[in-house]
Amino acid sequence: METIEYWHFSEFGKDSIAGISVNSISNKQYHLPENNKVIIALIDSDVDISHNYLRDKIWINKKEIEHNKRDDDGNGYIDDIHGWNFLGFENQKIAKYANNTSVRFIKKFKDKYDELSKKDKGLSPSEQEFMETYNNAVTTREEEKEELLENEDYVVWYESSLASSDSLLATYGIKKPYNLRVLDSLFNEVYTIGNDENRGRLVYFTLDNLKNNRINDYKNSIKYAEQGRKYELNENLDEKPDFVIGERKISSEEYGSNRVNLNIENENHGTEMAGAITKTFKMVNRKITNTDSGLELMIIPIFPEIGAEDEDDLAKAIRYAVDNGANVINYSSTLNFLIKPNTVYKAIKYAEKNNVLVVTTAGNSGYDLDKVMTHPREEYGDYKLSNLIMVGAIDSKLGPNMKPLWASYGKNTVDLFAPGTDFLTTIPNNGYGETSGSSISGAIVSSIAAAIKLNFPKLSAQEIKTAIIDSTSKYEGEVNLDEDGTTKKPFKEMSKSGGILNAAKALELASQK
């Protein structure tokens, strides 16, 4: 990762790249306080804390004595050396599956909806708002079913193509195990020379299957389709618990584990975000101080393998991060339907009161978040949060396709954009791989916020937020909102700032405060 060229850090506008200008940071000392450190709490999935690239950046709770099975620091969590896993229980186990928020909302409020539906007199404004939210949950659940069908369609297509290709190859006397050189030669004979598209497609299927190990995609699609219907969508709306391992409900007070790497074999996301944060921080802080030290990652898993995280877990995770010294919280997710929104927003207000910045993401649904309610956001009900930044994702090239179609936006909701595609990062078991999504964008902004806090420790969360938002790079053109480019929108109207993260300008502005 150290020798790879990242477009994400390039100077904004140079060669039409939508970079964040890390390479433009002047190599001057900002008088970094001696032995200063900054802690980013990563509220995500499990992380491979033994990864060679990450292990020296993992937070260590020095107030806790490891493995003595006591709560030495009295924070309510036993042996929480590197953070706390809110999905763990019984030491070795983890809750992997959960309902989507749409299902939870419907299950919780179905009786209330039925009762209001029969009401003779007009509904109050609050009742009308509830009915609209409930109907949105029903619509969302139907859309989620359609997405699940794509996995099932892939399974059917794969099995059909596999059977047909094996049958075709048998007619040529080609038997398993298949040889890539033989298949390449046959593909050239059938498709390139013979111009037989149907047979060529089947030969290519086997080639691609071998070269790219598509059997894993097939197995994952089966798994997702089966588990998605049972847990994520909970099709029959029965009384199965939201978080499940078998039939165990993970909503009691006694749950959690000090092991923050329980599920890294099945879930990459936390490790990917840890790598993106670490890489970005190193790039920035080397420019400022000629070192990459000072960063610690507090690991707080709450993301299940299937379905959405629980809002109680999110609230507890935020409070855990604040109480244990985090300066920045990176939460790269959105929740559509909250049953107890006050629980989450009170936790973020608690972070605000304790001067902790919360970075969240706009998501990958492609929605205009001014029209679609997701949480958390800066303003909701009576809440107005001065310590929350929402980040949207952009692609590498300035131009009409700079905003990926999947990247959500909102003139009054999203604060700014940051690079969110093709980021080489860490994956479990000392691996590396590329990933895309607004989660990357949030991780990059969290890293810049942490670098500012490290070098200017007296700045408040609100001052750091202002420095980041007020220093964005501007792009005056329009971006496409659909695939054929018939619907466009000025990029400056896609977020509050109308711009893209600029690390160099953000640091410069922070130094003047």
Average pLDDT over residues 495-507: 97
Contact (Cβ atoms closer than 8 angstroms) between residue 40 and residue 442: no
How is residue 500 written in tokens? 């893209």
Contact (Cβ atoms closer than 8 angstroms) between residue 317 and residue 300: yes
Give residue 440's pLDDT.
98
In this structure, of 18-32, 42-56, 177-191, the range with the lowest mean pLDDT score is: 18-32
Q: In the predicted model, is pLDDT for residue 458 greater than 60?
A: yes
Which of the pair, 216 or 65, is modelled with greater confidence? 65
Q: In the predicted model, is pLDDT for residue 246 greater than 80?
A: no
Tell me the backbone φ, ψ of residue 26, rounded to 5 degrees. Answer: -70, 140
Q: Which of 290-294, 456-460, 493-497 has the highest mean pLDDT?
A: 493-497
Give residue 250's pLDDT.
47
Contact (Cβ atoms closer than 8 angstroms) between residue 424 and residue 13: no
**Strands, DSSP E only, in 55-209?**
88-89, 93-94, 97-98
**Short-list 369, 350, 373, 487, CA closest to 417:** 369
Q: Which residues pair with 298 in a beta bridge?
A: 41
Average pLDDT over residues 257-266: 90
Q: In the predicted model, is pLDDT for residue 238 greater than 80?
A: no
- Residue 122, classified by CB atoms within 10 Å of its CB into exposed (0-12), middle (13-18) or buried (19+), is exposed
Percent of the chain with pLDDT over 90: 68
Average pLDDT over residues 268-294: 92
Average pLDDT over residues 171-185: 91
Would you kindly state where each structural domain of the chain is located, as residue ranges? 36-97+250-511, 101-232
How is residue 502 written in tokens? 């600029």
Tell me the backbone φ, ψ of residue 72, rounded to 5 degrees. Answer: -65, -35
Q: What share of the chain is helix, strand, coil (3-state, %, to 5)?
A: 40, 15, 45
Please tell me the distance from the alpha carbon of residue 308 to that of residue 271, in angstroms, as a whole number. 18
Instruction: Report pLDDT digits (tens) over 374-403.
Output: 999 999 999 999 999 999 999 999 999 999
In this structure, of 218-232, 294-308, 342-356, 461-475, the range with the lowest mean pLDDT score is: 218-232
Q: In the predicted model, is pLDDT for residue 33 greater than 80?
A: no
In this structure, of 21-35, 114-128, 191-205, the range with the lowest mean pLDDT score is: 21-35
Contact (Cβ atoms closer than 8 angstroms) between residue 98 and residue 263: no
Please tell me the distance from the alpha carbon of residue 331 to that of residue 40, in angstroms, as a whole number. 10
Q: In the predicted model, is pLDDT for residue 315 greater than 90?
A: yes
Contact (Cβ atoms closer than 8 angstroms) between residue 446 and residue 422: no
Peptide bond into 428 cis (omega under 30): no
In this structure, of 46-55, 142-151, 296-305, the range with the lowest mean pLDDT score is: 142-151
Q: What is the DSSP letter of 231?
A: I
Average model confidence (pLDDT) across the chain: 90
Tell me the backbone φ, ψ of residue 406, rounded to 5 degrees. Answer: -80, -10
Give residue 372's pLDDT.
94
Give residue 224's pLDDT.
75
Please tell me the distance from the alpha carbon of residue 375 to that of residue 360, in angstroms, as a whole number. 9
Please tell me the distance from the alpha carbon of residue 296 to that of residue 278, in angstroms, as a whole number. 9
Q: In the predicted model, is pLDDT for residue 235 greater than 80?
A: no
How is residue 234 written in tokens? 């909970």
Peptide bond into 177 cis (omega under 30): yes
- Residue written as token pair 């329009």: 478
Contact (Cβ atoms closer than 8 angstroms) between residue 86 and residue 317: yes
Q: Considering the entire predicted model, what is its pTM?
A: 0.88
- Note the Cα 276 to chain centre separation in Å: 11
Give residue 241's pLDDT.
46
How is residue 158 written in tokens? 């794969």
- The helix/strand/coil state of 252 is coil
- Residue written as token pair 């405060």: 513
Strand 416-419 with 388-394, pairing? parallel
> Which of the four pLDDT bands, split at 50, 70 and 90, describes residue 215?
confident
Average pLDDT over residues 120-129: 87
Per-residue exposure over 95-116, b if at least 16 CB sit within 10 Å of its own CB, e if not: bbbbbbbbbbbbbbbeeebeeb
Please tell me the distance from the alpha carbon of residue 137 to that of residue 404, in angstroms, as a whole number. 25
**Short-list 336, 112, 317, 144, CA closest to 231:** 144
Average pLDDT over residues 456-480: 97
Q: In the predicted model, is pLDDT for residue 3 greater than 70?
A: no
Average pLDDT over residues 476-483: 95
Contact (Cβ atoms closer than 8 angstroms) between residue 18 and residue 270: no
Give 36-97+250-511's CATH code, choosing from 3.40.50.200, 3.60.15.10, 3.30.565.10, 3.40.50.1820.
3.40.50.200
User: In sequence order, which ranges of 430-489 are alpha helices (DSSP H)?
Assistant: 438-455, 461-470
Q: In the predicted model, is pLDDT for residue 331 greater than 50?
A: yes
Q: In the predicted model, is pLDDT for residue 240 greater than 70?
A: no
Please tell me the distance from the alpha carbon of residue 255 to that of residue 257, in angstroms, as a whole number. 7
